[in-house]
Amino acid sequence: MPVRAAIAQVAASEGFKMLRMSDLNLSRISTDIVVLPENWISSTPVDIADYVQAIEEIYVETGSRAVFGGAQYVLIDEKIVSAGVAVVDGKSYLVCEKLFPSRAVGERGHIEAGRLVKPVKVAGFSVGCIVCVDIFYPEVSRALSLLGADIIVNPSKIPIDKEDVWRSVLSARAAENIVYTIGVNPGSGRYRDGRPVSGGSAVFNPDGTPRLLMGRIVSTSTVEIDLDSLSYYRRRYAYHEDLIGRLASHYKRLADEAIDPVRI
């Protein structure tokens, strides 16, 4: 089952911005899913309704089956969280929240810890979402794998000096869980402490090998993901089978606490 995914390595914005088809460099109905990075709309919190509207407009313009709108600091119930919104088959969902705000850049002083959200179904396959630094916690990916994720998307804002480490973690998460991982980073911008951010988005196969490695420019790349290969890798390697069998108890609590994607 081939899935065409567009990795939209757009520029990060300091102030609120919307995207148009010309920004994404996509032709209409050329992809099944579009994936965007973290905090591309704004570096400061925005109202959740404005964020949802921005993703819904991209969904309409691209004609894709699903748009995973990255992640954004948003106001929800008078709290600021880092959350991701996706539009799937015309319906909008909250699909991820950052569980562990970054201590290194001071997020913990004003960003609330989030909840794990279960993978969302897209045309017969499941996509889990992990916000930025949460990919460095292997338990989070494990829990999403237990919950049936076939693809894990990781909207991020990673500085240049951490790009290699981030990619190596994406590779490991793919191989140890036998899933596809998609890490998407802004093509330009600044990290919260001033370090430059310049692309490096990547897609990894279920055996950890790279399927797509993007450069350091604002751009959109389309990659075909063969979901039928998941069956091959899961027959060949026992990691996934052992995870949902003998190892499940170690990660079950986190998985049990996960919430369903929230319709918004």
Q: What does the pLDDT look like over 215-255, one tens digit per residue?
A: 998 889 999 999 999 999 999 998 888 877 777 777 778 88
pLDDT of residue 239: 85
Integer Cα distance of 91 and 106 in angstroms? 34
> Quick one: pLDDT band at residue 142, thresholds 50, 70, 90?
very high
Average of per-residue pLDDT across 115-126: 95
Instruction: Indicate the DSSP class of residue 101.
Output: -
Residue 22 has pLDDT above 80, yes or no: no
> Quick one: pLDDT band at residue 159, thresholds 50, 70, 90?
very high
The tokens of 196 are what?
């430059």
The model's pTM is 0.92
Query: Of residues 169 and 187, which shows the higher confidence score?
Result: 169
- Beta pairing, strands 46-47 & 196-197: unpaired
pLDDT of residue 212: 97
Look over the chain and give the mean of its residue pLDDT values, rounded to a whole number.
90
Residue 172 has pLDDT above 70, yes or no: yes
Phi/psi for 26 (5° steps) reads -120, 145
Q: What is the CATH number assigned to the segment(s) 2-263?
A: 3.60.110.10
pLDDT tens string 183-216 = 999 998 888 778 888 899 999 999 999 999 999 9
CA angle 111, 249, 254 (to 5 degrees): 15
> Quick one: pLDDT band at residue 20, thresholds 50, 70, 90?
low
